[in-house]
Amino acid sequence: MEQYAIRGGNPLVGEVEIGGAKNAALPILAASTMTDETVYIDNIPDVRDINVLLDAMENIGVLIKRTDRHKVVLNAGNIGNVVLEDEALKKIRSSYYLVGALLGKYKHAEVVLPGGCDIGSRPIDQHIKGFRALGATVTIEHGLIKAKAERLVGNHIYMDVSSVGATINVMMAATMAEGMTIIENAAKEPHVVDLANFLNSMGANIKGAGTDVIRIKGVVKLHGTEYTVIPDQIEAGTFMFAAAVTKGDVTVKNVIPKHLESITAKLLEIGCEVEETDDCIRVVASKPLQHTHVKTLPYPGFPTDMQPQIAVALALSEGTSIVTESIFENRFKYVDELTRMGASIKVEGNTAIITGVDKYTGASISAPDLRAGAALVIAALAAEGTSTVDDIKYIQRGYEDFHLKLQSLGAQIELVQTEKDFRKFKLRTG
Ligand code: EPZ
């Protein structure tokens, strides 16, 4: 069984290259099925969720060539099937993006219901409402979402909640619908904007992505394109907080600082120094960390995908902090694990009350989901002594070469397979 062995105590120091955004690349790959022409996509992260989606797309006849680790060439001109029942697809959230994409182009899609991280109930009512508003019949049968339409016709759609997934899915379906679709209360996350830019580069007519109101004028056909995915806001934020937690000095490279504003603001509040240049951000943590309060919100608010990472920093800060999770109700599952390392956190409903402690101590812990897993690794890097982190398959869903990038910053972390590997690691690291 793979696990990370970590010897804590080294401040992370150096520069780290940030990869392409998983949550932008996933819908972009799905949307590349909407043209018969060839699509070239660069800056695709080599992570498990992406690879599962690519395998499923290959199974329905999309020709896919990885020309290097981060570049793919796709041609969906010969799709033979719009029914996707792959077992592996059940495990990822983004499988449902194939519904929006295939419904948009072929007016028919049947895809297994999505899984993804267990961070709370994850309804898809807004996706279904949007597809229906465009004229599709949508049913859920035998574990599949089935969406079918004679024709799709633009409509005015008001999202009851700001949902990244629903905004993206409805945007894709509406791209080739007849007439104008207006999505109100749309999600504004950078990956929503990136997908709109990608679709526009294929000939779509989408305006307003990044604001509350997206206007999509349907087009008959999309063409091939070359596109580079934006940098991963959450991977960057994770390394920025790793610098804070380990009292380090880390520069994240190839980022869009604008996308990281809410994260930078919190790092400044807790006493870190942050320097921005065009596409780099340096975080230096030379003073004791201070407490603060934070509430997760849709973009441009503080991201729910950064909530465990900031909590790990606040639990080592002076004073009492309050973290409110307003997006997903089950995102405090890391608290028990962090408590085993010495943190003092009380969860009441969607709020965690954190009393700062002086240090963490190493322990055997498990990653409960992707972001919480990454946060626990960071905690272990700051802890006194050795830790092991199990269930790293969750972390590998969304972080490429996580342990290697951390090693390059001076972390003592290794991927170990056996008890013997672990003993060797302990001998080496003291
Ligand atoms: C995306 O999930 C991301 N996943 C998540 O990242 C991220 O946490 C989340 O957006 C919020 O930013 C991908 O992009 C693949 P939502 P998604 O629809 O689209 C409610 C990670 O770690 N809702 O924006 O599933 C929902 O319950 C992952 O990379 C409805 O009520 O999130 C939640 O409270 C984890 N009905 C809120 O909206 C719906 O039909 C926001 O969810 C849809 C959503």
pLDDT above 90: residue 290: yes
Most confident of 49-53, 262-266, 327-331, 423-427: 262-266
Candidates 117, 166, 196, 375; catalytic one: 117
pLDDT surpasses 90 at 406: yes
Average pLDDT over residues 397-426: 96
Dist. CA 261 → ligand 1 center (Å): 20
Pocket residue to mutate for ligand 1, from 23, 96, 238, most atoms within 8 A of Cβ: 23
Atom 31 of ligand 1: nearest residue by CA position: 123
- Give the residue, by CA position, lying nearest to ligand 1 atom 5: 305
Distance 167 CA to ligand 1 centre (A): 10
Can you tell me which atom of ligand 1 is nearest the CA of 371?
A: 22
CA of 121 to the centre of ligand 1 (A): 10
Task: Find the 304 Cα to ligand 1 centroid distance in Å.
Answer: 9
Relative to the CA of 114, which ligand 1 atom is closest?
Answer: 25
pLDDT score, position 143 = 85
The confidence score (pLDDT) of residue 116 equals 61
CA of 428 to the centre of ligand 1 (A): 42
Ligand 1 lined by 104 (C-beta under 6 Å): no
The pLDDT, as a whole number, for residue 49 is: 92
d(CA 186, CA 192): 9
Q: What is the pLDDT of residues 100-151, one digit of tens each?
A: 999 999 999 999 987 666 766 788 999 999 999 999 999 999 889 999 999 9
pLDDT (average), residues 26-31: 98
Which ligand 1 atom lies nearest to the CA of residue 117?
35
What's the CA angle centered on 92, arms 88 and 94, to 5 degrees?
Answer: 125
Taking all residues of the chain, what is their mean pLDDT, rounded to a whole number? 96
pLDDT of res. 1: 78
The question of whether 117 is a catalytic residue gets the answer yes
Which pLDDT does position 270 carry in this prediction? Answer: 98
What distance in Å separates the CA atoms of residue 30 and residue 173, rounded to the nearest whole number? 12
What pLDDT was estimated at residue 119? 66
Q: Percent of the chain having pLDDT more than 70?
A: 99
pLDDT digits (tens, 9 = 90+) for 36-87: 999 999 999 999 999 999 999 999 999 999 999 999 999 999 998 899 888 8
Q: Which amino acid is at 119?
A: I
Handedness of CA 259, 262, 263, 268 (dihedral sign): positive
Residue 329 Cβ contacting ligand 1 at under 6 Å: no
Q: What is the mean pLDDT of the segment spanning 308-335? A: 96
Instruction: Inform me whether the pLDDT recorded for 353 exceeds 70.
Output: yes
Q: Residue 330's pLDDT is what?
A: 82
248-282 per-position pLDDT tens digit: 999 999 999 999 999 999 999 999 999 999 999 99
Q: Give the residue-averaged pLDDT of 370-398.
A: 97
Atom number of ligand 1 nearest to Cα 398: 29
> Whole-angstrom Cα distance, residue 252 to residue 279?
8
- Give the pLDDT score at 117: 65
Ligand 1 pocket test, pick from 91, 94, 164 with the greatest ligand atom count within 8 Å of Cβ, gives 164
Pocket test for ligand 1, best of 126, 163, 233, 334 (most atoms within 8 A of CB): 163
> What's this model's pTM, rounded to 2 decimal places?
0.97
Position in ligand 1 atom list of the atom nearest CA 126: 40
Q: Does residue 25 have a pLDDT over 90?
A: yes
3-state secondary structure string across the chain: CCEEEEECCCCCEEEEECCECHHHHHHHHHHHHHCCCEEEEECCCCCHHHHHHHHHHHHCCCEEEEEECCEEEEECCCCCCCEECCCHHHHCHHHHHHHHHHHHHHCEEEEECCCCCCCCCCCCHHHHHHHHHCCCEEEEECCEEEEECCCCECCEEECCCCCHHHHHHHHHHHHCCECEEEEECCCCCHHHHHHHHHHHHCCCEEECECECCEEEECCCCCCCEEEECCECHHHHHHHHHHHHHCCCEEEEECCCHHHHHHHHHHHHHCCCEEEECCCEEEEECCCCCECCEEEECCCCCECHHHHHHHHHHHCCCECEEEEECCCCCCCCCCHHHHHHCCCEEEEECCEEEEECCCCCECCEEECCCHHHHHHHHHHHHHCECEEEEECCHHHHCCCCCHHHHHHHCCCEEEEECCHHHHHHHHHHHC
Q: Is any atom of ligand 1 closer than 6 Å to the C-beta of 126? A: yes
Residue nearest to atom 13 of ligand 1 (CA): 23
